[in-house]
Amino acid sequence: MATLEILKYPDPRLRLVAKALDAVTEETRQLIESMAETMYAAAGCGLAATQVGVDVRLFIIDIAGEDEASDLKVFINPEIVETRGVQSWEEGCLSFPGATEEIRRADWVKVRALDASGQPFELEATGLMAIAIQHENDHLNGVLMIDKLNALKRRLVSRKVNRALQEDAQS
């Protein structure tokens, strides 16, 4: 598989609301493999299909630490069915290079989805997994981390991203 191009803010495709997948096909499994390769190459812990320009309700997460075995989780047609509590987390995003911001999200989530085989599952999560699920699910709805910030912070993040993209273009 090959790595895919990760769309960078303010690419308008990041604002698209993804469509549900009707079936898990060989093409879906190839997309999952390419997304995983892309996420690992970019040193991310989550990636939504919309971030690589594919308009389907699919995201992947692997929050395993560097000294832990990979634990890739696939979420197809995810639905967050319940949330509780509040936590703040310093979030980054592969579509926002060079930017991290403290974002408030639910502390606990319950999500229903299909796995890479098309089998339904339900997962309850806290901590980083809960944050990652909410962050990636937002991507599928065209919602970006910058939308969770006040106007001043949005401008600062936009500047950070523009500076990081300019530095990348020069190297």
Specify the amino acid at residue 70: S
* Residues involved in catalysis: 136
Strand partners, 125: 109
Scanning the structure block, which residue is given the tokens 């530095």?
Answer: 167
Scanning the structure block, which residue is given the tokens 């950070």?
Answer: 160
Contact by Cβ (8 Å): 95, 7? yes
Report the distance separating Cα 47 and Cα 94, nearest Å.
8
Scanning the structure block, which residue is given the tokens 């390419």?
Answer: 34
* Helix residue ranges per DSSP H, the chain: 26-41, 127-140, 151-170
Report the distance separating Cα 109 and Cα 126, nearest Å.
7
Report the distance separating Cα 131 and Cα 108, nearest Å.
9
